[in-house]
Structure 1
Amino acid sequence: MDLVAAILLGGFLSAHFVLGGADVGLGMLLPYLGRDGSERRAVRGAMAPGCLEHEAWLVAAAAVLLGCFPELAARLADGTLPLVLLPLGAAWLLRAAGLWWPGPRGGRSGDALLVTGSWLLAAGWGWLLASLLAETHHSPAPALAGAVTGAAVGALFLAHGLGYAALRLTGPPFQRARLLTGGQAGRHSFLLTSVVMAALPLPAGFRLPLLEDAAATGPFERVLLPALLATLPLLFTAQVRRLRGAPLRRPVNDPYKETRS
């Protein structure tokens, strides 16, 4: 059961990085992709329908960590790692507030919160990964290592968001996404960045003592794992249907109409 729990934890985190990471990348790119109100609303519309489903993978990963690896979760919480987790959670809340800001699709205030929260969230994930890969994984990584890793992870989120934008957007926002990548953003680039995003949390999982002494045993684990396994097909089906959804209609003068992949 411990191995099943570890695989589920890695799988849920990988799914969130692929799907939720695409939303974060779009949020980071919002000022570039959307130059006016209607374009920004189109970019928001590309991420809003599935963002709650994408967050469900992160909630499931947290349930596995707390329910199946309580000793490890306590060890991480007892150290200074919350100095990383708290800003990461604040960035997530900031982005959520911007995404659901009241008004016509958020307005300028909501856009500012969404963009700021997306950038901070990507950098925070990089700092957290650097901390988990450090020699003492319950302490924050040094500022320099966290900054370098945060910048690298942020660049990956941007590339992932560009590929997603080329799949989901139309008109000028779609053209800008293709222009920034030399006309290469699209299905193939999104698949490539998806593979990298899926692998991003796995080194930290191998670094943590998941199978050594941190796994829980008892009735709670025996109830939680079957419940999560039962919901897995539902989550997977919902995501497949969402990703297969048709993008908005392109204008007839779209110069990339014939080259869009």
Structure 2
Amino acid sequence: MEIFVLAFFALGYLVLGGADIGVGMALPYLGRSAGERREVIAAIAPFFLGNEVWLVASAGVLAGLFPELEGHLLSGNYAVVVALLVSWVVRDMGLWLRGRVPGARWQAFWDGGIVAGSWGLALTWGLLLAEVLLGMRGPLVLLAALVVAALFAVHGLAFAALRLRGSLRERAGLLSGEAGEGRTYALTAGAMLMVGVLAGLRLPLTAGSSGALLTPVILVLIPLLVASQGWVWWTFRHRVTGPSYL
């Protein structure tokens, strides 16, 4: 049961959080003016904090239920983990601060922070997944990280195509063609799930002794998390019609 709990949160983050990371990566392409960039960011504004809850929950489950796995992932990967956390902070700082002070330079600087942080997140996740999934070391791991980052970017474009209108939607849907953005999003989400599952199959998934106490508590909280996430998606199911609070 503990394995399914960890998989639920980790895979949920890859699909949900991977979408807003991908949108941030594609921000310069999608938004070619300050107004367009703000509208693109509005596509992820209602979701990115809720998506990060899945990452926090994954980290909590990992530390509480799988201490051996936590040590395995951190061993030899401290620099990558630190880079991941810094990228996360920079991306979120960009989202929160870009609209707090008027001025084109201020907004352009923090838009750059969003892009840099999003690329940093995608590449560091790619490095971790490449090491776990393929056991790769050295220069080849960079190639695998770029492939994973490209998957994040395509996933984000598909999500943006579902949320945006007009020319922004056309730019985001460039890779979808006649297949439609819904099908593209489903395909990229499936690819994200496959990468996560294949990585998980290589991990030492031996639960610790605290599972008997923590697992029932987590199982009670999961329906609340899913219900709140579903409410947010239903509330903001329509396409973006203008800038958000960010």
- TM value normalised by structure 2: 0.88
What is the aligned partner in structure 1 of residue 211 from structure 2? Answer: 221
Corresponding residue to 1:100 among 92, 96, 100: 96
Larger relative contact order (CA 8 Å, sep ≥ 6) = 2
What is the aligned partner in structure 2 of residue 138 from structure 1? Answer: none
What is the aligned partner in structure 1 of residue 81 from structure 2? Answer: 85
Letter in 2 for 1:235: L
- Distance in 2 between residues matched to 1:170 and 1:134, nearest whole Å: 39
Which stretch shows the higher mean deviation, 112-121 or 234-243?
Answer: 234-243
- Distance in 1 between residues matched to 2:205 and 2:190, nearest whole Å: 23
CA shift, 1:17, in A, is 0.6
What is the aligned partner in structure 1 of residue 11 from structure 2? Answer: 14
Which stretch shows the higher mean deviation, 64-73 or 16-25?
Answer: 64-73
Please state if 1:205 is matched with 2:197: no
Corresponding residue to 2:27 among 30, 33, 58: 30
Q: Work out whether residues 47 and 232 of structure 2, in 8 Å CA contact, stay in contact via their aligned partners in 1.
A: yes
- Gapped runs of 5+ residues in structure 2? none
- Distance in 2 between residues matched to 1:120 and 1:185, nearest whole Å: 29
Count of residues paired in the alignment: 236
Change (3 A) 1:124 1:185: farther
Letter in 2 for 1:62: A
What is the aligned partner in structure 2 of residue 121 from structure 1? Answer: 121
CA shift, 1:153, in A, is 0.6
**% identity of equivalent residues:** 40
Please state if 1:40 is matched with 2:32: no
- Output one character per residue of 1:47-97: Cα deviation in whole Å (capped at 9) or x when no partner: 1211111011111111111001113323443x3121221112111111111
- Gapped runs of 5+ residues in structure 1? 136-140, 251-261
Please state if 1:235 is matched with 2:232: no
Change (3 A) 1:45 1:109: same
Give the alignment's Cα RMSD to 1 decimal: 2.0
CA shift, 1:104, in A, is 4.9
CA shift, 1:178, in A, is 2.1
- Distance in 2 between residues matched to 1:128 and 1:226, nearest whole Å: 29
Change (3 A) 1:228 1:183: same
1:186-205 equivalent positions in 2, closer than 5 A: 186-205=181-200
Q: Work out whether residues 92 and 114 of structure 2, in 8 Å CA contact, stay in contact via their aligned partners in 1.
A: yes
Greater gyration radius: 1
CA shift, 1:197, in A, is 1.1
- Distance in 2 between residues matched to 1:230 and 1:171, nearest whole Å: 42
- TM value normalised by structure 1: 0.83
- Distance in 1 between residues matched to 2:127 and 2:71, nearest whole Å: 20
What is the aligned partner in structure 2 of residue 259 from structure 1? Answer: none
Letter in 1 for 2:5: L
